[in-house]
Structure 1
């Protein structure tokens, strides 16, 4: 499904003064694309994702999924935050099944989906555990499975691996790319980590700061079935350096301005 933002602006009131977080952002995320958005602090990355999720509304402009305006949260968009935000009293499988309780599905279909996504995310063996019994990486796997079990058109990721250690983070990066290939879900991810964006994305968009707006974009010509060895190749290092320069340049112009 195509996700489109057209001239989107978002203003907030801060101590009685208007603060513009996003200014004229236009983006098109194509079906099956893995789009990563990066930028310095103040570039409005999380605000952008909140608007697409329908948690807030734009001051002006329009956001659509397959031509349908976004007016609030919906099952066509799954959202994963930096922390899992799991229900502590629910087991893993009941956390994953939560969204299905709001859909008109029969018991067999609910069970099939829960079983499949538990297996896909490597959680089948801990399905009856509570969140407090899981590692941080496992909790994020539950959050991802919960977001995907409703089979949304678009998966939204808000720096989902930022709180994890390096090893777990790389394991989760491999997992989310595998899920993306297996499900064909369109992904929009915001992250401050340029290396992560280049490794995961099919395209990287750079936002300038204060107010946030599109400064540049880079297509990532790496194989869809890339693994961690891709991070050690010359082309990867060149791409990462190029995007880092774009982030730095867009932020510096804002500081000078």
Structure 2
């Protein structure tokens, strides 16, 4: 990743997932974010953050915003596309926001004029229903606190599922394979490392449905099904090439 960012022409836009990376579930550590920021600054790139799952990784809005805030604290110009579709359950509204941190008021005026030129022919005025729901929740301290607690509960449930799946894989698999990546990954998704043939076995034999690149959504997994999923993964991993 660092090599690719270095190889990109200076002044490129670099798309980054702020947290809960999709599809891998592998987020950079704070130290790694620092290295990424160093290279982007050196190359005069523009970081463009995709923030689709804020609150779903750690359960904390602040923790999940740390990567973006690090770049802003360095004085970098930053673009962040922020979605409320997932963390507020507003899938049908497709509500989000584009945030641009500029280096000066003059730069902000130029960016705003360009955003207006894009928005006007594309949709003119967006629907306001979803935006008003979000504004009502984030603008009310009691509702905001309740929302944060619900996200923490949701993220905690996924963490519990990860631990249960890891325990099941480790206890059932006698090959000595290291399954700790399940715990190291974060957010809704896990990149299992299964190839297409192994994924087909997961579906055709075990009726576990996943994308063919080996990604699986842990948000749809219950604690009661962890052992069954572990059996399916172990069978597919060891018995299908």
TM class by shorter-chain length?
A: 0.3 to 0.5
Task: Say which structure is richer in strand.
Answer: 1
Higher relative contact order (CA closer than 8 Å, sequence separation 6+)? 1
Q: Which has the higher helix share?
A: 2
Q: TM-score normalised to the size of structure 2? A: 0.33
Q: Which has the larger radius of gyration?
A: 2
